[in-house]
Amino acid sequence: MITGERMAAVDANAAALGVPRAQLMESSGNAVARVAREVAPDGGSIAVVAGRGNNGGDGFVAARFLGGTGGSDVVADGDGAPAVDVETILLGRAERIGTDIARRNWDALVAGDADVREVTDSSAFSLPDADVVVDAMLGTGISGDLREPIATAADAMAASDATVVSVDVPSGFDASDPHSNANPVDADHVVTFHDEKPGLDALEADIRVVDIGIPAAAERFVGPGDLGLARPSARTGRAYVIGGGPYTGAPALASQAALRSGMELSFVAAPDRVADEIQGYAEDLIVQPYAGDRLTTDQVPDLVETAERYDDVVVLGPGLGSAEESLAAAREFLESYTGPAVVDAEALSVVPGLGTDATLVCTPNRRELARLGGPETDDLRAAADEIESFAADLGHVVLAKGEDDVITDGERTRISRVGVPGMAVGGTGDLLAGIAAGLLEHADPFEAACGAAYVNGRAGEVLAERWGAGDGLGITASDLLTEIPGVLWGESSD
C-alpha cells in the first residue's frame, strides 16, 4: 500500500537512480493499453479521455500503443491481434498541458497523426460512443472536488455503457484521503501503478497493480524524494537542547544544526559552569544556564515546563555525560514530557522500558545500539531486519548511525548510504540530532529521521566534492553546518 505523497517521493528517488519519470510513464501507458485492449471487443473502439497532468500523459502513451504506428486507422498490432479504433480527447488546451513529459507524449501523438481533439469547454464535450473509455483525467495530483470540464466528462462516463478503465485511480478518487471521495468515476477496471493505493480495495472494480519498473532501491534507500517529504517550508519552531556538562561542543553543534535546518530559535539548557563556553562557540544560540556542574533531577520540572509551554522540539543528550544523576534526570524528563524529542548519546540508555508519552527519535551509533540491546555489528545495513525488530520492541523511531544508517519505526525501514568516509569524525552525530529536531518540527518522526540522515550525509558529500577533498577525510562537523541549508532547500526533490 502506498499513498500518493509517498509515491511521488519514490518516483523522485527513482529519477535520482537513473530511471526518470518519462520512462515510468512509458511503462504506465503501455500497461493501460494492454488492459484496454484486453477488455475491448475485437475491432472495437477505445476513447482515451485525458487531463492536463501526468495522468493524462499516461493516457497519451496508452493511445500511442493502442494506435500502433498507423494513427487511428484500424491496423493489426505486433502480435497479430486485431487492432482497435482509438480516439483521444484532451480536456483543456494543449498549450496548457502541465508537465513536459505529458506534453512530449501529446506532441508525439499529434505528430503520429493520431485521432486527437481538444475540448476546452464542458458544453462542447460529448463522450464518443466507444466500447472502452480510458479515464486518464486525474490521478494522484487531485485537489478538491472535480472541476469542469472533468466533472461533466465524469458524469458522461457514469451514464455510458462503455467499459471504463481508469488510469492509476478513478478520476476524483483521492488516494491521500480516501474518506473525502465525493464523486469519483465509476470504473470497471483500475490499472494502478507500482503498489495498491489506500481505499482502492473498497471500490467495486477490478484493481490491477502493475509494475512500472521503479527500482526496489527507490523505496529502500533514502533519496531526494525523502528529503521532499521532510523539508520545512517555513522558518518556525524552537529547538531545546538539553545537554552539556562534561562536554560542551556537542550541544553547541546540535543546536546550531537545528537553526541551519529551519528552526527559528535554538536554546541550550546547560550547567552554569559551562554556559559561557557554549555561548562562546556561537552568538546565534540562547543558552539557559542552571546551577551546577551537571544535569540533576532538580532541574527536571523547569525543563519540562519550558519545553511544553513553548512547544519545543527537544534534543536530549548531547554532551550530557553518564553520571548517574544526569541519567536519572533524563529518565524523569522523558517520563513527564509529552512532545517531540530526539534522544542521543548517553541519554539513550534510559529509553528501553521507559514509560513516556513523548514522540521520540532515538539516534544511537553502533556501540550505543548494541548497549541498548540491539544487534552488535559494524554492518548496520546487513542487520536492518534486526534493527527493525529492535525498534518495534522499543516503540520508537530508531535512526542507527554507521557507515550506512538504518532508519526504522519498527514497520518501515530505510537505509541511508549517502555520506563520505571522513564523516566518521566526532560531532557529525550531534549535527544529525540537530537536523532531525529541525525536521521533526514539521514532519512525522519517521520521515524526519529519514530526511535528517539524507541531509547530513549529503552535506558531507557536497563539502568533500567542493573542496576536492576526496573521501572528506579532513572535514570536521563544524564545517558541515553551513552546508545544511543548501542541501535542504537548494537540491531538487523531483
Ligand X SMILES: NC(=O)C1=CN([C@@H]2O[C@H](COP(=O)(O)OP(=O)(O)OC[C@H]3O[C@@H](n4cnc5c(N)ncnc54)[C@H](O)[C@@H]3O)[C@@H](O)[C@H]2O)[C@H](O)CC1
- Please give the residue ranges that form the binding site for K ion (CB under 5 A): 55, 135, 166-167, 171
Q: Is 250 annotated as a binding residue?
A: yes
Nearer to K ion, 106 or 240 (CB): 106
Which of ligand X, K ion, none does residue 251 bind (CB under 5 to 8 Å by kind)? none
Q: Does residue 180 have a known ligand-binding role?
A: no
> In terms of CB distance, is 225 or 375 closer to ligand X?
225
Distance CA 406, CA 418 (A): 12
Q: Is 402 annotated as a binding residue?
A: no
Asked whether 308 and 337 are in contact (CB, 8 A), the reply is yes
312 is in an annotated binding site: no
Query: Is 443 annotated in some ligand binding site?
Result: no
What are residue 336's phi and psi, to 5 degrees? -110, -20
Tell me which of ligand X, K ion, none is bound by residue 166, counting a contact when its beta carbon lies within the kind-specific cut-off of 5 to 8 angstroms: K ion
Q: What whole-number distance in Å separates Cα of residue 115 and Cα of residue 70?
A: 11
How far, in whole angstroms, is CA 106 from its chain's centroid?
29
Q: Are 201 and 228 in contact (CB under 8 A)?
A: no
Given its phi and psi angles, is residue 7 left (phi above 0), alpha (psi -120 to 50 degrees) or beta? alpha
Cell of 472: 572528506
User: Does 13 count as an annotated binding residue?
Assistant: no
Which partner from the list ligand X, K ion, none does 52 bind, CB cut-off 5 to 8 Å by kind?
Answer: ligand X
Q: Quote the least distance from Cβ 4 to ligand X, whole Å.
A: 7
Separation of alpha carbons 194 and 216, rounded Å: 10
Separation of alpha carbons 319 and 334, rounded Å: 17
Nearest residue to 8 via CA among 228, 248, 212: 228
Ramachandran assignment for 144, one of left (phi > 0), alpha (psi -120 to 50 degrees), beta (any other): left
Answer yes or no: is 44 a known binding residue: no
Whether residue 135 is annotated as binding a ligand: the answer is yes
Nearer to K ion, 48 or 452 (CB): 48
Does 456 belong to an annotated binding site? no
What is the distance between the alpha carbons of residues 20 and 38, in angstroms, rounded to a whole number?
28
Choose between 145 and 264: whose C-beta lies nearer to ligand X: 145
Select the binding partner of residue 343 from K ion, ligand X, none (C-beta < 5 to 8 A, by kind): none
CB of 59 to K ion, least distance (A): 8
Which one, 26 or 388, has the nearer CB to ligand X?
Answer: 26
Smallest gap, in angstroms, from Cβ of residue 7 to ligand X?
A: 4
Name the residues that contact ligand X, by CB under 6 A.
7, 11, 21, 24-25, 28, 51-58, 98-99, 138-147, 150, 167-168, 193
Tell me the three state secondary structure of residue 238.
strand
Based on CB atoms, which residue is closest to ligand X, 255 or 493? 493
Q: What, of ligand X, K ion, none, does residue 122 touch, CB below 5 to 8 Å by kind?
A: none
**Residue 171 CB, nearest approach to K ion (Å):** 4
State the minimum distance, in angstroms, from the CB of residue 205 to ligand X. Answer: 16
Q: What residue 131 binds from K ion, ligand X, none (CB within 5 to 8 A, per partner kind)? A: none
**Sheet with strand 340-343: strands edge to edge:** 286-290, 265-271, 238-242, 313-316, 340-343, 359-362, 397-400, 405-408, 413-416
Distance CA 68, CA 84 (A): 9
Answer whether 207's CB lies under 8 Å from 169's CB. Answer: no
CB closer to ligand X, 92 vs 251:
92
Residues flagged as binding site for K(+): 55, 135, 171
Residues flagged as binding site for (6S)-NADPHX: 54-58, 139-145, 168, 250, 319, 430
Residues flagged as binding site: 54-58, 135, 139-145, 168, 171, 250, 319, 429-430
Residues flagged as binding site for AMP: 429
